[in-house]
Structure 1
Amino acid sequence: MTSAQAAHAALGYGGFMLGGMALALPMAALREVVPMVSLCPLPTPNPAVVGGLNLRGVAVPVLDLRLLLGQTAEPLAAPCVVVMVHEGHILGLLASAVTGIFQTADGEVKHVRSDAGAMAICQGTLVRADDGAMVGILSPAAIAAQPHVPLTEDPEPQRSRPLAEAVAGSDPDGDSLSDIEAHFPVMLLRCGGIALSIDALSVAATLTAPSVTPSALAQGHCKGVIAHAGMSVPAVDLQAMLNLGALPCDDAQQAFVLNTAEGAVAFLISEVLDVVRCRRDAVIPVPAFALPHPALFAGALPASALPADATERGDVIRSQCLLINGEALRAQEQVHNLASVAQRRQGAQTAQAGQGGDARSFAKAMHDGQGAQPLLTYMLAGETATPLNQIQEIVSWRPDMAVLEPRGKLLGMLVQRGVSVPVLCLNGLLGLPAPAMTATMSVLLVASDGECVGFAVTQLRSIETSSWEPSLQGGPSPHSHAGQGLRTRQLAKVGPPGEERMLPVLDLQAMARQLQSGALVATPA
């Protein structure tokens, strides 16, 4: 391995997607990633140059590699631009998504033979150590040498100098890379007016203008789901997760994705400010009592350890920025549960696509003893569970939601997404003592026959997968008392091996149907 190859391996690679191609640039050539706004025309005969991007007052040519390779260039849903730097010049590469900074298991590029010209831009392939994906490694020199591709003089050469010097100063045998290894890539980001940072190697992807859609997973810090890589990924308010307040909904302009063993989770932020290299020994400790959630932080980076232009960007990095512990965030219990449930729920939705989502298909699945399903567990007279696919949405209970005085089991009415929804006390429907109306109460919204019913529960517990047990004898009729229904419904086994517990399963869609048909009475006569 040459010294340059060893240096690139130590620094890692920045991965991105373009259409169906997984590509990457050596970190030495990666400047930053920015959202693509409108491009201005540039006078060049190369049709792959799709325009110029205004980057802080500098016109940066943007190259669509698909056109360079003779492929069809379909419109991208949320395009961004990867800014490449080479020999004192910069060039933008169009991308459909960023897949994060990564290192490889063996560090070597498997070189491929190609004809001269456009095909030479790919110098070889690597297998990512984090997800096993095959990635094409781009050659910055070959890209820069393409005919009629204009390059812009780097307006911020000081940002590349330390990196270039580190690579050039490596030992010829590739054994002395201590200066490179003493640094790590850091993604600087903003949540509202708070400056934060995270080890860029822990980030799998960044998303521009994420569209958060409603989901049954929307509870606590989770605001819904984002479509990413063909999956519905839970979208979490990072600022709230860190106990630093809530990110305003209109300020969730970007997101970054962390991969866990269970699945992916996206974290909503205001914007990514930059990706820079910092010395590992520059991280300073922060007293635990000064942080609302100290386990999720690795310390702080003083402004003096960051490039001068990075501290100016966004006008939020003043004396320091807190450094998030990516591994601790990834291992956080809510993140773990959301990733696990989202992955299983997507599989369950695919498997149940032909069944229909009403109470009849639920009852059939229960009777047939079908396989594991995700459950939402909550407190009634003990822990109780309901299949997650019955819950349309979860909202926090607030006294000002009620537009009626409480009457019997009916707590009131709320307006949710333009629909009037009756909210009923689930304890009351089941003949259980009325709970205290506290801030911990949640409302489970359940759809049935085109209408929505809200069931108020005292406390949510968790989202878990289950193994169905055989049905109990003597199941209730559709018109039996709901309290009896809870005691005679099928049980489900939940929990990890060795810690399993049996929970009663409540069919809320059946209960909603009983309310609609008059079999259950919600208000006094």
Structure 2
Amino acid sequence: MSPSTEPSHWGSFTLGGASYAVPLEHLREAVPAGRLSVWPGTAACVTGAIELRGLMLPVVDLRRLAGAAAAAADRPEDVAPLVIVIAHAGHLLGLCADAVTGIFQASAERVQAVTLADGSEPCVRGSLVRPDHGELLSVLHPPALMALPQVPRCRDPRTATPPDDTAEGARPGRSTIPGGIHWLLVQAGDWRLAIDSARVRMAVPLDGLRPSVLSRMPGNTDCLGEWPHPSHPITVIDPLARSGLGALAEGQARQALLLDTDGGLLGLAIGAVLDVRQLPATALQAMPGGRVTQAQWFAGVLTLEQPSDDRDASPVLALDAQRWTAHAELSNLASLHGQARHADSALATREAATSALTLITYALPAEAGTPIDQIDEVLPWRADRAGLDDDGCNPWLGLVMHRDRPVVLLCLRRWSGVDAGPIDPEASILVVRSGVHRMGFVVPRLLTIESAGWQPAVAGMLRHRSPSPITASRLAQVNPATGPRRLVPVLDLQDIASKALALRAVAA
């Protein structure tokens, strides 16, 4: 992949109804504007200056730069509440902002560039459509902003040596922060969290969050539902509930950070994006003992340099991005909507590779389970879409079209010979792949998604009537977060789908 097509990280913010994007490498942090000091003798776009940890930081109002000398941009009492700090060539400059709207990834080649007739660099170098919800952003060009006439800038104290402003063709100063990380600071309930922004695909509003089959499961504590991404729904979880910090209250899940896990995109629900800060590796301190009950989800406590307000004095818990993106159960949750999956999910491969697995369990009516990485998607049952009249006995329920592909529906309870009867309105469909085909197993009730471990093979575990090809020769010990452990028979739905389709082809 060429450099021009490599995904780039961007920070975005709003001002006066307009939305802007800044390359993340130029984005230092976002701070409260507070009271602006007058800076005389400057360009009209300079609205003043703020004190930033001993520095006088000039602040530019992009509304004035655009010629929109609206009253709101000229009245000190109506100045924007935030200042976005940008960095370039060893210097800093502030930009007025109403709100930080997150971080996202988009290839640099997606920028629709603009040029000026005189060959100079424009402050707005083009436009970019956010890939998550289609919002059009104006792309700012920090070098051009800092080169504006009569716009002062201050030296960046984090650079080791000041850049040579007098030498022709001077090269930009380089930050010497060892192991510096752009941390994305967010508010989640009463907690402030941080995560390495390189692991975040984008931040999206949760206006369209809807309940899912998983969020309705008994015993669910952290799945909030699914966010309707244009290509596939994305599972959204509560990071507080998952990490033992409590739970988000109603109305507190207003945004989601989309993480690139091994199984696809997964949403972490938050209240708001607060800030983006580049900090040295030494800013991350060890987690104090006993502070949280599930410390494995955290990399430590983030120390913010020289707090600028009382809010900065509260602790910031840094999430362990590697654990959140590589954790098997979270990756499997992310993969439940037809996203990228491991090439081979067969039970034999799983047993040979590891003794641990994540089971999705269901009632037949006795509890059974299937490794979650066999499941492509979990859909709600709707009797009106199967296309056939259900006689209460036939296990074959017809076809449903999903993502423009046919899915063959099979009632797992009837196929196993347990009993007949109507399909429960609360039933769910577990979609699995069998070669080029997709089969949807209709199960009466989903129970849990929990970690488990393989147990020795036994014979004849789940009784069935011929010719149904259901066998469960393995047990798994489920290890719930609370409550006693239990043994659950494991069904290989991929193998069952293959045999069932073969029997149907012979019968036809």
Higher helix share: 1
Q: TM-score, normalised by structure 2?
A: 0.50
